[in-house]
Structure 1
Amino acid sequence: MPGPLRIPFPNAFPSPASPTPPHLTTLPSAISAITDFLLASPPGKTTILTGAGISTASGLTDYRGPQGTYSTRTNFRPVLITEFLNEPAKRNRYWSRAFLGYDSFSSKQPSPAHRVVAELVKVGLVGGVVTQNVDSLHERAMVREGEEMRLHWREKLVELHGALREVRCVKCEELYEGGRAKLQEWLASQNPVWEELRVKGDLIQGPDGDVAVPEGVRLPGFVEPGRCGGCGGLVKPDIVFFGENLRREVKERAEGLVGGCERLLVLGTSLATLSAWRLVKRVVERRGEVAMVTLGGARDEQVFFGEGRGVRVEFDIQDVMVGVEGELRNKGIL
């Protein structure tokens, strides 16, 4: 029998020994390199892949950064899909912590880097965005770019691991009417003591919206969501849990965006998840160009950027992308 599922790479990867190319040791040089990278292919032939690092400036934590969940919460262990489906106590615990964290999580606003990425898509320089994040911040940034992006962001954005704003039945796959916002209101009405704790705040939030309840706090049982009104199946946030496969249509859309690009710009991810790592590997194997901006190391980057291939810099994403925006404005592109 197969062994139990394990969380992949809970520890941070080591930082690269030097940037690629080696002379990119200053922020201005990194900004110029990423700007040149974006301009080196025809408009629309670059795709952007993002991870939790782009959202830390919005007030969310990442997983493996210096202040990430794995670094600051030594006992942290995300719920596995098998536990959510088959172990009622763990499912109930997940829903209670997710309830406490959702309002704060969903109130976060796009960072400057989210805004720059949306602008790059709007002007056609970037063909699309694949994000591992479930925070909807790319979606909000794109919608704010105007009516054209409001109509077309679903074509330009792939939320690889889903989005917490939606709730879906695991059996019939229908979305919950009104989404997570409506469900949150119902949960608050059914759990008044938990609602008092949520309003009080002072909770440690994770990158996927749940929180850690302080030691010593004793709370009554949590009333979790009912079953699907159509088929009686369990409902869960429309995100990919650890150990769960991507939805087929999502995987195909992501592969289509990456498969059709000449260049891939990677922002704020260590590539620890197999789904994101595979996308980068695919571009490298067909000799496409890859650039990466992230603090800390990344999975297999010595392979992806070996022998001087691509661009790899370790600077704050916000500083780099705001700088890129400035250079593109100076060139009359934005």
Structure 2
Amino acid sequence: MHQFFEKVLSIKEIPSILMLFAAILTFHILSPYFLSYFNVKTILELFPEFGIVVLGVTMLMISGEFDLSIGSVFALCPIIIIKMINLGLNVWIGVILALIVSLGIGALNGTIVIKTGIPSFIATLATMMFWRGTVLAITKGTPPPIPKEVLPLQICVTGWVGPIRVSLIYFMAILIILWIVLERTRFGNRMFASGGNPKAARARGVNPAKVKITLFMLTSLLAAFAGLIQAFRIGSALPSAGQGWELDAIAASVIGGVSLFGGVGSIIGGAAGSFLLRIIGNGLVLAGAPGYYFRMFVGIVIIAAVIFNIIIKEKIRKMR
């Protein structure tokens, strides 16, 4: 039994999963509608967009870097698609160009960080402002509607498979793929090494710069894809889309057990953290709490998650 508890507590995702279940139980007690079919369906319908963004941020943070430009890329991608269609290009060409631009932004972020030595938090803060300004300049602050030519793609991205949104299936597929990459491949080992001890990683033949630039590109690509999903779902590309998600995504990753210093974390934990934040937001609304309580609760949950992780690590140490 002693070994069983030690093994359970050593699972990286346990703290975030326990907090997730605690939140679900709490809000179920506060509101009888929380676990109703309609509300659960609503949460699962809206969650994938934020969840996909967090998956990318989690991977990047494990390598020891941050990307604050994700919210701007989230807003920029669908606007590029709409502009390309309005210029007479095929919708698929517009999508491909938008995703290529997102990869370029990620590569630019990574190159700036690696080549100049500027901390990623500062470098991507600058690119966040630049690309958000670009979005506002293109749209003049007015949300452009989704053209009718997008309808076939819109169905593929935001349609339904029975009671399930296709976007949730995309989220699960990305989650599984990234879990395999992180836990079962050499690249995953290189990510942990690059985030935990870059000097030791180089001594073992790992190129942390290459790993990190690749992850910057992945993070930006996933943010763009998530932005595309949201725009197609609501039928418009909001210039303000993704604002505030930069820190929310970092918070979700930290709640999921990812270290702010890199080298520690799991993709399942990041997913659980992102779902927990959406559960809190939804639960507070149903409980009748003012909207600004959300930020207060997120702050409390972050501190609780860090303390929870420390307590569990101490328990494991004593068991041994």
TM-score tier, shorter chain, comes to under 0.3
User: Which protein has greater RCO, CA pairs closer than 8 Å, 6+ apart?
Assistant: 2
**TM-score (norm: length of structure 1):** 0.25
More helix by share: 2
**TM-score (norm: length of structure 2):** 0.26
More strand by share: 1
